[in-house]
């Protein structure tokens, strides 16, 4: 199905904003590879990423490139089943017992720390 630029511009793409090494802020849209912009302020970076998104989408449509749609937040339930060696399971359970927290809390804490997750 051929979708228009306006269709894609209305989709809720996630924008990631972070301080730029050279000053100011960088903004990117992870679902659109290479769609990155900058600005001196957060507001400017957010304004610039919208212009970059429009250009990225327009070029992709013109070149016949498949455009990924945003990932819906409700696709993630927060539940995950994993397999691990028994020895790791034991070590984690012992550590959780030492910390007086649940095994689940310990694992979530270490996963979040490992990926640099912040709310």
| 8 Å CB contact between 24 and 39 | yes
The mean pLDDT value for 91-109 works out to 93
- Rounded to an integer, the average pLDDT of 67-89 is 85
Which pLDDT belongs to residue 1? 62
Q: What per-residue confidence (pLDDT) applies to 81?
A: 87
d(CA 71, CA 1): 19
pLDDT tens for residues 38-76?
999 999 999 999 999 999 999 999 999 999 999 876 667
Q: What element of type H or E holds 57?
A: helix 42-63
pLDDT given for residue 71 in this prediction: 80
Burial (0-12, 13-18, 19+ Cβ within 10 Å), 95: middle
Q: Is the pLDDT of residue 79 over 70?
A: yes
pLDDT band at 77 (very low <50, low <70, confident <90, very high): confident
Percent of the chain with pLDDT over 90: 77
Question: What confidence tens digit (pLDDT) does each residue in 20-36 have?
Answer: 888 999 999 999 999 99
């Amino acid at each position: 199905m051929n979708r228009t630029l306006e269709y894609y511009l209305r989709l809720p793409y996630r924008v990631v904003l972070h301080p730029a090494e050279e000053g100011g802020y960088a903004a990117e849209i992870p679902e659109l590879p290479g769609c990155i912009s900058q600005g001196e302020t957060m507001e400017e970076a957010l304004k610039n990423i919208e212009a970059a998104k429009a250009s990225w989408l327009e070029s992709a449509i013109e070149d016949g490139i498949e455009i990924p749609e945003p990932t819906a937040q409700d696709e993630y339930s927060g539940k995950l089943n994993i397999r691990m060696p028994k020895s790791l399971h034991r070590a984690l359970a012992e550590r959780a017992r030492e910390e007086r927290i649940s095994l689940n809390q310990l694992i979530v804490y270490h996963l979040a720390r490992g990926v640099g997750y912040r709310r």
